A and B are shown apart, each in its own frame.
Chain A
Amino acid sequence: MIPTRRKLPRVGDGPIIRRVLIGTTLFFGAILVLAPLIVIAVEAFGQGVKAYAATIAHPDTRHAIFMTVATALIAVPVNTAFGLAAAWAITKFDFWGRRALLVVIEIPFSISPIVAGVAYLFVYGLQGLFGPMLEAADIKILFALPGIVLASMFVTAPFVARELIPLMQAQGRDLEEAATSLGASGWRTFFSVTLPNVKWALLYGVVLCNARVMGEFGAVSVVSGNIRGQTNTLPLHIELLYHDYQAAGAFAAASILATLAVVTIIAKVALERRGAGRRPALAAATNEPKAGNRP
């Protein structure tokens, strides 16, 4: 019989290192992420379910929820369409400035949202570029829903495109060419071939985009003007309640936002299981390395 050797740990897999790393991660996860969430839940219901219900039922809170949902309902579809168009353009066509466009799409990721807010102030504000023109036409953009939507859109512009571009790049143009050679029209190709192959990544991008739109504070706080019951979104409303020493109210409103966020995360994890946001398992059928025989 061959003597079996004691199973040795893999290289770099010492038991001490492993325990320390796992312990540290769990510890920081608990105090940085989990604890605040628990505090929100506890504080929200700290003065009883009645007080919680009263806060939620308050017209200002309800209006803030309405503003947040309305913003998401406009900004997310627009950015989805933008993301699809941008990803399509960048991955399926060759044109001058393609790389530059890639960089431009990423800008909102690296710019502080508050800078975006201030920029919008200078473009659409009374002293701004289009301010006088807009006022003359009686169009209100700043300190109203349009401004909030614009600022949210700026911040979340890259989300959908960022998810789609790597996937569509990996898939190449073969599938579309095949569909066209079989007689499919452009729309038919898009809906029957392109979209089904990117749908999980698309949904993943939409979920992330939605989470960010609903939670956006910095850019929106500059352009909304913080008018209670009129231009306050949920994050702004929470801040306002907090500054008014209505801690329970602030936490109650925060709990709604947190719930929305948790639902989003669950949706995101579920989508990740389906293969979105990772290397495309879907493209495996066409994914043999491209030999590049085309001159």
Chain B
Amino acid sequence: MKIRLDQVVKTFDTFRAVHGVSLEIESGQLVALLGPSGSGKTTILRMVAGLEYADGGHIYFGDQDATDIPVRDRGVGFVFQHYALFPHMTLAENIAFGMKVSKTKRSKTEIATRVLELLRLVKLEGLGDRFPGQISGGQRQRVALARALAVDPKVLLLDEPFGALDANVRRDLRRWLREIHDELGITTLFVTHDQEEALDLADRVVILDQGRVVQEGTPAEVCREPNSAFVMRFLGDANRITATVRDGRAYIGETVMDAPSSSDGPIDIYLRPGDIDWRPDGNGIPATIVRVLDRPGGRRVLANVEGGTALEFDVPPETDVRSGQLGRLQIKRSRLYPA
């Protein structure tokens, strides 16, 4: 089912959480709403679910205007951040709940069969008689997903699905959710503040800031072509150097680099840690190493360039770098944004 948001607005008391957001989610896609806290991403998700009503604009499911359809009748599966499993019901009863209360009557055996099928899907066979308090967080999350899928939703919505889990469980569940999505082909929208999660999992990423969409695209598009300094910073570690542009060239202190499409005046140059090459001598921006942080895959170097700007970059693990060392930095790649 295709979902379309058209100029959706939501205000809480005096705070405008969502400013005229328009979005299109193609049928069968897995889309991430990514943004810092307070960016309105959860509010958008809850409006799509019908847990919150839009103050303005429209939400379409396919060709149908779903804006005013109550959550009960909207046919969405919603997975809550803290799972919201019914603590007094077994896992099987939790999963069966939606089928039991549904307007379409199902026989007892039919429900039982479906519950077993879903328990198998979420890899919790044989745990149907447990209570939510007796299983781990990752297992609860899977039960919550099974419960949401039990009612054959047109759309699956997940609110920070892995937010409360530790890193390893998170990574496993992420891959697993992708597999389930590919298997079922259900249109899925999820909210996260974790860039890695969004980039790993989603077909398309929608980046939000202060209730507005700032960029949307495939993970490759948003990573390679961030359209603003905000997106650049938000997606990962980024260094910023201030420079001045004159006649299509940017001046960083003594160093000059090409900036063909920038107009004259101050400019911010953004560099990922991998965009910088370190050399003990030769050409480049002079820098002093302040600290070296050792990591499993390499060494992260914290350095100061002249003027006191701090930069971070990565060097291969065997590189000999020490704090206090002087050297040169070469810029391999960079993105320029007006200051």
What is A's interface to B at a CB cutoff of 8 Å?
Answer: 174-175, 177-185, 188, 192-193, 196-197, 282-288, 290-295
Question: In the bound complex, what is the Cα–Cα distance between A292 and B201 (angstroms)?
Answer: 23
B76 interfacial by beta-carbon distance below 8 Å = yes
Minimum CB–CB distance from A197 to chain B (whole Å) comes to: 6
A213 to B42, CA, bound (A): 47
**Please, how many angstroms separate the alpha-carbon atoms of A174 and B80 in the complex?**
8
Sorted from nearest, which 6 A-B pairs have the closest CB atoms?
A: A182-B98, A174-B84, A285-B132, A178-B84, A285-B87, A184-B101
Residue of A193, A197, A287, A292 with highest tally of chain B CB at under 10 A: A193
Q: How far is the CA of A243 from the CA of B160 in the complex (A)?
A: 70
Q: Distance (Å) between the CB of B118 and the closest chain A CB?
A: 13
A181-B76, A196-B88, A295-B39 are known contacts; what are 13 more A-B pairs with Cβ within 8 Å? Answer: A177-B51, A177-B78, A181-B71, A182-B148, A193-B86, A283-B87, A285-B87, A285-B133, A287-B82, A293-B191, A293-B193, A295-B38, A295-B43
Residues of B within 8 A of A290 (CB): 82
Q: Is B85 positioned at the interface, with any CB of A under 8 Å from its CB?
A: yes
B198 interfacial by beta-carbon distance below 8 Å: no
Minimum Cβ distance to chain A for residue B99 (Å): 9
Contact, CB under 8 Å: B88 / A197:
yes
> Which residue of A180, A291, A295 is within 8 Å of B72 (Cβ)?
A180
- A sample of 9 inter-chain contacts (CB < 8 A) reads A175-B86, A180-B71, A181-B76, A184-B98, A197-B88, A282-B87, A286-B87, A294-B43, A295-B43
Chain B residues whose CB sits within 8 angstroms of the CB of A182 once the complex forms: 97-98, 101, 147-148, 150-151
Q: In the complex, are the beta carbons of A285 and B140 less than 8 A apart?
A: yes
B contact set with A: CB distance below 8 Å: 12, 15, 17, 37-40, 42-43, 46, 49-51, 71-73, 76-78, 80-88, 97-98, 101-103, 131-133, 137, 140, 147-148, 150-151, 160, 163-164, 191, 193, 211
Contact: A188 with B101, CB < 8 Å?
A: yes
Q: Describe A's contact surface by its main secondary structure.
A: helix
| Cα(A188)–Cα(B98), bound, Å | 11
**B residues in contact with A193, CB < 8 Å:** 86
**Contact at B43–A288, with CB atoms within 8 Å?**
no
A179 to nearest B CB, angstroms? 7
Taking a contact as CB atoms under 8 Å apart, the answer to whether A177 and B84 are in contact is yes
- Find the A residue at minimum CB distance from B18: A295
Complex Cα distance, B103 from A193, in Å, reads 18
A181 touches B78 (CB 8 A): yes
Q: Please, how many angstroms separate the alpha-carbon atoms of A175 and B147 in the complex?
A: 13
Tell me whether A293 and B42 are in contact in the complex, defined as CB-CB below 8 angstroms, given that A182-B97, A182-B101, A183-B101 are known contacts: yes
Q: Is the CB of B72 within 8 A of A183?
A: yes
Q: How far is the CA of A292 from the CA of B36 in the complex (A)?
A: 12
CB distance from A127 to the nearest CB of B (A): 48
Residue from A181, A285, A286, A293 having most chain B Cβ neighbours under 10 A: A181
Residues of B within 8 A of A295 (CB): 12, 15, 17, 37-40, 42-43, 211
- Cβ of A192: which chain B residues have Cβ within 8 Å of it? 86, 97, 101
A181 and B88 within 8 A (CB)? no
Residue of A nearest to B164 (CB): A288
Using Cβ atoms and an 8 Å threshold, which residues of chain B touch A180?
51, 71-72
Asked, given contacts A177-B80, A179-B97, A286-B83, whether A291 binds B71 with beta carbons under 8 Å apart, the answer is no
Do B133 and A183 have beta carbons less than 8 Å apart?
A: no
Known: A182-B101, A185-B72, A291-B163. A285 touches B83 (CB 8 A): yes
